[in-house]
Structure 1
Amino acid sequence: MTENTGLELLITVVLGAEDDGRAREACLPLLQRVGGRIVESGDCSDEEPGCWSVTISRPADSTHTGPAALARAVRTFLRELGSLYSGQRVACEPPAAWAVIDDPELVGELVPGGERLLLEAWAAGPVLQDGAGADDVAVDTFADDPDEPAPPAPEPGIDDVDEHGRPRARLQLLVDVVTERRAGAEWPARALAARLSRQPTITGCSEHPPVVRVALDLGPSPGEPAEIVLGAVTALGGDGWSRLRVRDSSAMSRWSAAPTPRSGIAAVELNAAAPDPAQRQPAG
């Protein structure tokens, strides 16, 4: 097993399958080939019927975490897949570098029924400059240890109410991505959300050229709204977060890149708000 050196690879495959089990089963040959483990699967039938996504995580073989290392980790993995994949375009905007293979014939060679593949390299710690090229920008990023679950992340199956019957606050995430396509925004937004929650759900997507904004519900979280947002900020890490804003039963903090990148994540906003108890129906 490759030692965790600070970079994490996320390989997400979009494929046609009858159900979650069949989707995971179809990805087993790829899993055996590249190593790692399946960390997430989901129904994407809102895009097209019978569409599923499966995400595999594995550490990247790198001793650096800078912008150049992010892109290099993606290129190295593409070369591992073979010469037909190594020519794919790699984009890099810390804290991530990524490549998208939107070729059913190529992806189908890796996963039966595969249609698209997203490969991402994420820094598990702050991104530092380590020989970045002229086009690379070293910026503060979202730190995380993939082996250490984020404190504010809701556990699977957590109830909407606490032990006293009071509604729990829900953590919301807004991600602004500079991209020309909605799918190009949903991929990095889902990947970022997965660092905070095991059950993220996209609740909306709006276009404000050149930015696409993706809204996600990360589920109920224990604690007060301010505590939840501060915990999420700590889990993502990096500098440049706005001062915590608390109003009534909600809290919010925002991070934005300056200047706005040519592509990739441009801003992130975390919100936590407790629902109005008066709007909840009494338990039956």
Structure 2
Amino acid sequence: MDRPPFTCLMDNPGAMVGEDLELVITAVVAADGAARARAACARLLDRVGGRVLRVGDCSDEEPGCWSLTLAIDSGQRVPENVAAGLARAVRGFVRDLGFPAPRISCEPPTAWTVLDDPDVLDPLVPGAERLLVEAWAGGDPQYREPEPAAEPDVGPQPEPGTRLLLRVDVATDRAAGAEWQARAVASRVARSGKITRVAPRGDLLSVHVDLGTSIDPPAVALLDAVASLGRPGWSAPTREGESTVVRWSATPVPTGGIAALELTATPASAFVWTEPD
């Protein structure tokens, strides 16, 4: 009875169907170095193309021999019948080289054959002892580029920077006038200050301004804001929960104009918007 053209030891199609099908060719040649091995395989490389994966000394196993391994992208994908597709790729490659159809072994994700007749191989690879032809679903794992390591899950990171709020107390009974003066003060610290509330505070009108987020930590953000406002007599910073607060007030309280300022710096990661009092 004739032997079957290939034997299959294991087939797991579900995990391989649709993967790229790659051919890996290893030539063992009589050579005394890597350069001679490459030269011996020059015709093969010109014929089939591909990229050289490795040139190695195998004289420990076969004295006077070197091996050259190359990979060829077949441009095909693994079909539903994985074993048949792998075997077909090996058989087709060997036939394209002009050699008779060989016996093929198959153990998905690979199928392979060995051509070991030096007289048949010599016209293509001078000095060849044998040629190993493999087809791999997804590529030979020995030469496959490792998948990038997944970045560790460190959870949500705190938002950097500081949220700055400004309160400007103005001695006036006109909201428009209070807002105008508050904007003038806020513009010294931030270009995009936004008025969030205007409310009475005793005989004054308090204008609350959201100055936005600074990239600096709270202590630095406060010092920079105070320096930009340029008024002497600010209080020492005090902690109020997660926030740091500094205050300035005019003495005596004027009958018109700015009477007091309050700057609040809160880490952006801890800031929760609440309606100003």
Q: Name the TM-score class by shorter chain.
A: 0.3 to 0.5
Look at both structures and tell me which one has the larger radius of gyration over its CA atoms.
Answer: 2
The structure with the largest strand share of the pair is: 2
Give the TM-score normalised by the residue count of structure 1. Answer: 0.42
